[in-house]
Amino acid sequence: MTLRHVGFTPVPPGLKPGFDHADTYLTRTGNRLYVAHTGADRVDVLDCRSGAYIGAITDLPGVAGVLIDSEQDLLFTSDRTAGRVSLLRCSDQTLIDRVPVGPRPNALAYDQRFRRLFSFNLGDPAGTNCTASVISVEERRVTTTIVLPGRPRWALCDDATRSVYVNIAEPATIGVIEADVLMMSGTIPIPAAGPHGLAIVPEERGASLWCAADAGALVVIDRDSRAVEATLPLPGAPDVVMYDRDLGRLYVAVGSPGTVSVFDIRQRAHRETIETEEGAHTIGWDPASRRLFVFEPKSCGVAIYEESA
């Protein structure tokens, strides 16, 4: 095994247990990890090198999504209970604005070129009338609403193809939005139920989409031809995936049983699986320290693992 357990940091509890998406703020002076502590209506902040708990950003009701653009010093959150997204300056955590979006916002994607934030909304009740709200960061308002074919999950913006890819739980597809014209251009069928986590992996010829699905499968798809190239087994229904380009590895969190599966991107092969904690479906990654952070709701803290090779 190459992932070594190197520590555990307790996090102040909220009214309910539960973490959601996490992202890393990359700086020259040291990286910081931000995680949605949904049960506490806040985002918790950790120092990546020391693993220490730094503090929290509060007043984020039902916060689910966290997305950071380090180059533009932006931090976005989707505040599900409030039906809004929050825009902050990441360096000092200053609030820029709050923007109302569709019901129950969840995943976020950011188009750096045009400074557009995509908020993927679950609808109310969840799974009905699902939409993507497109927010102009400059204007601080929703400029376009896109109707989605089903319940959205993980989403990513790919500047190379000027597309936004979003996993749709049912029907099992990856939805494709044209980022320049803000329209759905089609879907990519997934041969496994419940697409959830998603990563774009650059390769010598284009790129591939790695889609982790509830059916216990990690599906590898050629981004351009949209052909399924591999299907790798998972120990359960996955959630968050993290990709490290330098190591050529993909980390997939499975909440039940609590595990993280590690895959070699270049070989397209399973490398190892570590046990975490039941319900631990959220992970974060720091490329500088090569540390994996596993957020454990029962223990109310973060288990820290470090890559040794």
Q: What does the pLDDT average to over 241-256?
A: 97
Is the peptide bond prior to 171 cis by the omega test (within 30 degrees of 0)?
A: yes
Per-residue tokens: 204: 């010598």
Q: What residue spans define the domains of the chain?
A: 18-239
Q: Report the percentage of the chain scoring pLDDT > 70.
A: 99
Residue 107's Cβ-side half-sphere holds a number of Cα atoms within 13 Å equal to: 24
Cα gap 308→294, rounded to integer Å: 17
pLDDT digits (tens, 9 = 90+) for 147-171: 999 999 999 999 999 999 999 999 9
Question: First vs last Cα of the chain: how many Å apart?
Answer: 9
Q: How many CB atoms lie within 10 A of CB 17?
A: 16
C-beta of residue 134 within 8 angstroms of C-beta of residue 142: yes
Cα gap 48→232, rounded to integer Å: 30
Q: Which residues contact 239 (CB under 8 A, 6 or more apart)?
A: 196, 197, 212, 253, 254, 255, 281, 282
Q: Which residue has the tokens 């470090």?
A: 306
Bridge pairing between strands 249-254 and 84-89: unpaired
Per-residue tokens: 155: 């989403």
Rounded to the nearest angstrom, the gap between the alpha carbon of residue 298 and the centroid of all alpha carbons in its chain is 21
Looking at residue 205, what is its pLDDT?
80
Q: Which fold has domain 18-239?
A: Methylamine Dehydrogenase; Chain H (2.130.10)
Mean pLDDT of the chain: 97
The candidate with the shortest Cα–Cα distance to 107, out of 124, 121, 88, 125, is 121
The strands making up 217-222's β-sheet, listed across from edge to edge, are: 195-202, 207-213, 217-222, 228-233
Q: What does the pLDDT average to over 209-223?
A: 98
Cα gap 256→277, rounded to integer Å: 8
pLDDT digits (tens, 9 = 90+) for 64-110: 999 999 999 999 999 999 999 999 999 999 999 999 999 999 999 99
pLDDT digits (tens, 9 = 90+) for 118-137: 999 999 999 999 999 999 99
Looking at residue 68, what is its pLDDT?
98
C-beta of residue 307 within 8 angstroms of C-beta of residue 247: yes
Strand partners, 303: 8, 294
Which band of pLDDT confidence, cut at 50, 70 and 90, is reported for residue 268? very high
Looking at residue 309, what is its pLDDT?
65
Residue 80 Cα distances to 77, 118, 122, 146, 262, angstroms: 9, 14, 9, 18, 30
Looking at residue 2, what is its pLDDT?
86
Q: Report the percentage of the chain scoring pLDDT > 90.
A: 96
